[in-house]
Each structure stands twice: as structure tokens, then as C-alpha cells.
Amino acid sequence: MDLEHDEEGGIVTKYPAGEYSTLSDAQRNRAYWIGLIGPASPALFFLVCVVLTMNINYPDYPLLDKFFGGEDLLIFSLCNLFLAAIAWPIIAFNLPPPYHEGGKRSGRIGLMIGGFFMLVVLWFFSMIGAS
């Protein structure tokens, strides 16, 4: 990232597309954190949903039972967690400036977490096949 100074002494950030931004350090830090946390938030939300619905004795909620029948809520949350985990790096790597710096880091984190869980699933399937 090339840093230049404008006529008032503020830092001007040159982005790869040739655009210039006169964001302050606080605005750049805010954009970085939004780019880092924003793409991961759906996956984190559905992870919380999965954890909350994992070992629950489901009370009788007529409205929920109309849409989900007991364990279907866990399956629904797991499917949404899977889809959100796939979408996380795609969203993160395609963020516009000034959010792209945090988005690149978030995308790398998402790929590392996804790769780790893929190895865990492959290990689990190999254990099933070995027995």
C-alpha cells in the first residue's frame, strides 16, 4: 500500500485501481474491522444456532413445530452453517475498497478454517471406512 500526503498533510492511500482515499486512520481501522468481521458474521450466527440446538430437549412450540419437527431445526441450522461457510471466503475476497484489506484477511481465515474442518471430515470418513 503506497502512502502519500495531500496538501493538508493527511495520508492519501493509493488503491490498486488507482483510486485515492483521504480516510483518516480511525476510518481505515473501522473499515478494516468491518471487512474482517462482516463476511464471517453469517457463519458465526449459524454456529451459535447449531450449538444452541444441539443438545436441547425440544419443548412443544406449536409455531416452530409447524415449520420444523424437533430435530429438523438442528438439520436446518447445520445446512445454513455449511452454506454460510462456503459463502464466507467468496464474500470476503470480493469486498470493495476500503473494506478489502480486512476482507482479504477474513477470506484467508475462512479458507483455513474450512480446510481444517474438511480434513476432520475426511479423517472421520476414513475411520468409518476402516471399521
Domain ranges, residue 57: 2-130
Rounded Cα gap, residues 121 and 65, in angstroms: 31
Q: What is the pLDDT of residue 64?
A: 62
Res. 26: pLDDT tops 60: yes
pTM of the model: 0.71
Q: Tell me which residue of 43, 51, 49, 47 sits closest to 87, measured CA to CA.
A: 43
Antiparallel, parallel or unpaired: β 11-14 and 20-21: antiparallel
Q: Tell me the CA distances in angstroms from 109 to 28, 62, 90, 101, 105, one per residue in order.
A: 20, 40, 12, 13, 6
The tally of domains found in the chain comes to 1
Q: Percentage of the chain surpassing pLDDT 70?
A: 70
Average pLDDT of the residues in 97-104: 92
- Strand order through the sheet with 20-21: 2-5, 11-14, 20-21
Alpha helices in 9-61 (DSSP H): 25-37, 41-54
Asked if 13 contacts 20 with a C-beta cutoff of 8 angstroms, the reply is yes
pLDDT band at 77 (very low <50, low <70, confident <90, very high): confident
Res. 18: pLDDT tops 50: no
Q: Tell me which residue of 52, 105, 98 sits closest to 77, measured CA to CA.
A: 52
Q: What is the pLDDT of residue 90?
A: 96
Q: Tens of pLDDT along 30-74? A: 999 999 999 999 999 999 888 888 776 666 666 666 666 656 778
